[in-house]
Amino acid sequence: MKINVSVEVRAMMPEFFNRVEKGEIFAYDGGGFTRDLSDEMKAKIKSLKDEYNIEGIVAVIDTTLKLGGGDDVDYCHMSAYVFMDDEDYNEPWAINDSDVGFMAYVVNDSWDIEDQGSIGLKERIGCVFRSH
């Protein structure tokens, strides 16, 4: 896949962008580790293309967040379908010196919410983490 990304942003996530250029789409878990897409993720990618015309999905960030503390703890499972295309407004951007912003379609299974938005990612030693 040909990608439109600045040299600065590419340098912040070199392994990730190398995978994108090869057309490799992976899921990344809460620990930043790569795994193959599940059948459910593949089906969601297809539906996003068919129903919303969202092309260029490059990764799925699959995380469970712990909210609250003490006796009042809630867990929230979210999957962010990160995409890039040739539109300038979907180009990744530098949030700060280590984090890169991407457009994403976010699915919150826990609260039955789906919406398009943005997500911050960072790369460390080949692992990709949600940062914002």
CA of residue 44 relative to chain centroid, distance: 14
Assess if residue 75 is contained within a domain: yes
Provide the token pair at 91. Answer: 């180009």
78 within a domain of the structure (yes/no): yes
pLDDT at 38: 95
Quote the DSSP letter at residue 23: T
Rounded Cα distance, 53 and 8, in Å: 29
**Segment (H or E) for 13:** none
Residue 112 covered by a domain: yes
Q: What is the rounded distance in angstroms from the CA atom of residue 78 to the CA atom of residue 12?
A: 24
In a domain, 1, yes or no: no
- Predicted TM-score (pTM) of the model is 0.90
Q: Is residue 2 a part of any domain in this protein?
A: no
Q: Domain count for the chain, please give it.
A: 1
Q: Which domain holds residue 83?
A: 7-130
Q: What are the mean pLDDT values of the chain's consecutive 10-residue runs (132 residues total)? A: 84 93 91 91 95 91 88 90 80 93 93 93 87 72
